[in-house]
Structure 1
């Protein structure tokens, strides 16, 4: 089955909402995301419209999604450019998700490559992400995609997270 990866369109807010809610029901969602299904499912349409518009072309962020040949939305990654001009040359990747049944198919690599291409266009030289110290599945996937630990550990509401980076060039496969 073929997969298409593209940057979201502002009009695709309902699909973005559905995919986000699906990701928040994943068994490791409490480790991976700083939100809950219960909270996100109560947010109004206007929230999802604004969030999607901000990640579509012309917005300050970029959300890339993976869509199966049959139209199923099953993967996502959002990249945020540096919030401090001329200080950092990194772009932050958040909200990484690939649904069960699609993992190990090359989807996460394709999502990260799109994030890297977008970040490079902004002048970034690396992608950064944070991953919970207990989320071993995600850590292994990120390492496979060229991310390495920086040695820095941050503390967020969900616990301690490793900071990982990779150059913006597409990962070798």
Structure 2
């Protein structure tokens, strides 16, 4: 695979904005993302710069991972949010232990089905483990069959927790179904 997967750099916020806006035009965007293209496009550049600063290389609370194609074009992304125990996450669920939360997963249609999602996941998971995450999870709309398949292939399993993030949205929680890399060595 001739793709490069790495963390976002702060000065790349315009490219991050463009990729996010592209993702919000995807046919499954209404059930995959918690914002619309129109609301995101209306945000000022200061919003996108701040977002990049909070999730760029070197940040500890979040990390945006991007995938560059063979010609340097950005073709995929995901963000890992770190959630502290005792807090309530953005979906209103209680956080019981330090965890990574994968959000904003997107791969351009022409680059799907080649394992790029799994490579993005691996980079996001590695970052979360380094931050001390005790588990990594994500939420996915019950009607987003393509995403559910991809997440299951990557080793995520349903926890049985569901939440409604909108009037008709059933979001399922999935967590990584394998042990942290350092757990095996502790035994």
* TM-score, normalising length: structure 1: 0.92
Q: Which residue of 2 aligns with 1:41?
A: 41
State the alpha-carbon separation in 2 of the partners of residues 105 and 50 from structure 1. 32
State the alpha-carbon separation in 2 of the partners of residues 90 and 43 from structure 1. 29
State the alpha-carbon separation in 1 of the partners of residues 12 and 114 from structure 2. 24
Identify, as 1 or 2, the structure richer in strand. Answer: 1
* TM-score, normalising length: structure 2: 0.86
Q: Which residue of 2 aligns with 1:160?
A: 170
Deviations 1:59-102 (A, max 9, x none): 22100001101121110110011233794132111000111010
**Structure 1: stretches of 5+ with no match in the other structure:** none
Query: By how many angstroms is 1:136 displaced?
Result: 0.3
Q: Does 1:70 align with 2:80?
A: no
Q: Which has the larger radius of gyration?
A: 2
How many residue pairs are counted as aligned between the two chains? 169
Structure-to-structure mapping, 1:132-171, within 5 angstroms:
132-157=141-166, 159-166=169-176, 167=178, 168-169=180-181
State the alpha-carbon separation in 2 of the partners of residues 74 and 41 from structure 1. 19
**Structure 2: stretches of 5+ with no match in the other structure:** 87-94, 182-187
State the alpha-carbon separation in 2 of the partners of residues 115 and 70 from structure 1. 23
State the alpha-carbon separation in 1 of the partners of residues 84 and 42 from structure 2. 29
State the alpha-carbon separation in 2 of the partners of residues 111 and 154 from structure 1. 25
Q: Which residue of 2 aligns with 1:81?
A: 82
Q: CA RMSD in A?
A: 1.6
Higher relative contact order (CA 8 A, sep 6+): 1
Q: Which residue of 1 aligns with 2:105?
A: 96
